[in-house]
């Protein structure tokens, strides 16, 4: 059984920065220092893969299952390495892109780098196709790959060889940027691990259609003969949306994946286990059953459920990697098929305190007294309102919350009461979004499901994490045996 511990959920983009979004530079190291001072054992991030939409794009819709988001590269660290000279303070993505291009030009003029060559060789499985795809994506002015010339869309060998020669410099730039991203990432991870902080990563179950993986592995997705999506992902109508959520990602052809020994998925999970100490699998339900919607539909309402790979996949996976390093987003009811799969392979399921105040208490898996020791308990998640925002705008029966925590409190105090309640739970691990530590309202919410505007933008500011907050968090962590 895992030791009792706690940690904080904060995506890299939410760190303070003068360059548009948070990055892997000095502010990330300062945040790691805060975690250590506050007695935290985990730092959970959202997916680090490049979003299909660069500016405030969802990290859960990526153009690669393996590549890193190069906008997270720190210009300051590039300067320290001698790859950049002067740095202006600009929040524009275009400026940061210009800096990265400049760093590549300097790198080209340097002596051969054995570490870079080793990185390219070690990551050949995904890097060659990704670098070519990224270069082609710019060459074709960001048109969807399904609208590229047929010979390129269908990956005809002679055509691709010709394009590799023509776009050699652009391809090399993409490899260089990936090398820099992973160098900076592993340096930060090492810094955290030295301070006894483990990193929890996150794997979205689906990819964007406009991705290197769908282009280079079309057979493992349900596509038409013209390589367009035949069916797309989503969820049926629920409390978030009356027409369901139409995510639009192409769904997997699990029969083909099974025939191939699930190789692509296994490589993806092994890659992430190298990047992180623990990996959260988002929308774990998709391995049991998935909602498939014809691609031409405008909403998700008329899709249908199909069976996922279930035990067959995880029985093969457990022979290759330790399943104890995974936590899974299992938000289904107790006794469901998902719950049975979680129990069989002893995954640590996620539970969310905000969800624990509704429905039948005896059947609500998020109710604190229904939790198992082998679970990960959140006050809120990236898809939820903040604790304060939830209490102010979504809780209809505030007295029920007061009854549970044992006293009446104001909206300004509620976040610490919910943190205390989560910390006291039997779950071996408690994760608290930084927004809840800071007591921020709905203006700090990261994402609203079934919407596309205004998400993934929140960043905290320097000075918001005070010494008083650090001490209070450390004290609670000590009181409940999670230090």
Indicate the DSSP class of residue 223.
Answer: B
258 CB contacts (<8 Å, ≥6 apart)?
309, 312, 313
Q: Kindly write down the DSSP assignment for every residue of 386-418, as one continuous string.
A: PHHHHHHHT-S-HHHHHHHHTS---TTTHHHHH
Whether 380 contacts 430, CB under 8 Å: no
CA atoms within 13 A on the CB side of 424: 11
Q: Is 144 left (phi over 0), alpha (psi -120 to 50) or beta?
A: beta
CA atoms within 13 A on the CB side of 430: 30
375 CB contacts (<8 Å, ≥6 apart)?
348, 349, 350, 351, 427, 428, 429
- First-to-final CA distance of the chain: 16
Q: Which residues are catalytic?
A: 282, 329, 383
Q: Helix %, strand %, coil % for the chain, to 5?
A: 45, 15, 45
Indicate the DSSP class of residue 53.
Answer: S
Q: Which of 176, 94, 102, 95 is nearest to 134 (CA)?
A: 176
SS3 73: coil
Q: How many of the other CB atoms lie within 10 Å of CB of 3?
A: 9
């Amino acid at each position: 059984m895992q030791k009792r511990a706690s940690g904080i959920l904060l995506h890299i983009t939410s760190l303070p920065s003068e360059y548009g979004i948070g990055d892997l530079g000095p502010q990330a190291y300062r945040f790691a220092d805060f975690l250590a001072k506050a007695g935290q054992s985990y730092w959970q991030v959202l997916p680090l893969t490049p979003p299909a939409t660069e500016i405030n794009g969802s990290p859960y819709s990526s153009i690669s299952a393996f590549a890193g988001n190069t906008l997270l590269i720190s210009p300051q660290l590039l300067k320290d390495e001698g790859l950049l000279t002067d740095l202006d303070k600009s929040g524009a993505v275009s400026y940061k892109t210009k800096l990265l291009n400049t760093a590549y030009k300097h790198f080209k003029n340097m002596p051969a780098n054995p570490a870079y060559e080793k990185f390219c060789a070690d990551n050949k499985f995904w890097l060659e196709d990704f670098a070519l795809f990224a270069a082609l994506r710019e060459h074709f002015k960001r048109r969807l790959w399904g609208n590229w010339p047929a010979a390129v869309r269908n990956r005809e060998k002679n055509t691709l060889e010709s394009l590799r020669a023509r776009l050699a410099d652009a391809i090399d730039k993409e490899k260089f940027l990936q090398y820099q991203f992973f160098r900076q990432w592993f340096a930060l991870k090492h810094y955290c691990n030295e301070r006894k902080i483990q990193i929890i990563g996150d794997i979205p179950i689906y990819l964007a259609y406009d991705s290197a993986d769908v282009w280079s592995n079309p057979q493992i997705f349900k596509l038409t003969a013209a390589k367009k999506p035949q069916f797309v992902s989503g969820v049926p109508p629920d409390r978030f949306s009356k027409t369901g959520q139409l995510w639009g990602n192409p769904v997997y052809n699990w029969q083909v994946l099974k025939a191939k020994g699930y190789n692509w998925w296994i490589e993806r999970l092994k890659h992430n286990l190298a990047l992180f100490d623990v990996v959260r699998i988002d929308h774990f339900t998709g391995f049991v059953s998935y909602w498939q919607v014809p691609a031409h539909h405008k909403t998700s309402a008329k899709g249908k459920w199909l069976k996922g790979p279930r035990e067959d996949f995880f029985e093969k996976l457990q022979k290759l990697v330790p399943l104890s390093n995974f936590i899974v987003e299992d938000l289904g009811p107790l006794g469901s098929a998902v719950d049975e799969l979680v129990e069989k392979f002893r995954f640590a399921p996620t539970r969310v305190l905000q969800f624990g105040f509704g429905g039948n208490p005896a059947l609500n898996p998020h109710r604190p007294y229904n939790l198992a020791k082998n679970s990960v308990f959140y006050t809120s998640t990236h898809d939820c309102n903040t604790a304060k925002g939830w209490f102010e705008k979504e809780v209809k029966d505030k007295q029920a919350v007061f009854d549970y925590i044992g006293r009446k409190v104001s909206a300004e105090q509620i976040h610490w009461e919910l943190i205390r309640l989560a910390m006291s739970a039997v779950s071996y691990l408690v994760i608290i979004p930084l927004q809840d530590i800071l007591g921020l309202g709905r203006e700090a919410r990261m994402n609203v499901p079934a919407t596309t505007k205004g998400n993934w933008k929140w960043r905290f500011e320097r000075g918001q994490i005070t010494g008083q907050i650090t001490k209070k968090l450390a004290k609670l962590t000590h009181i409940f045996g999670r230090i």
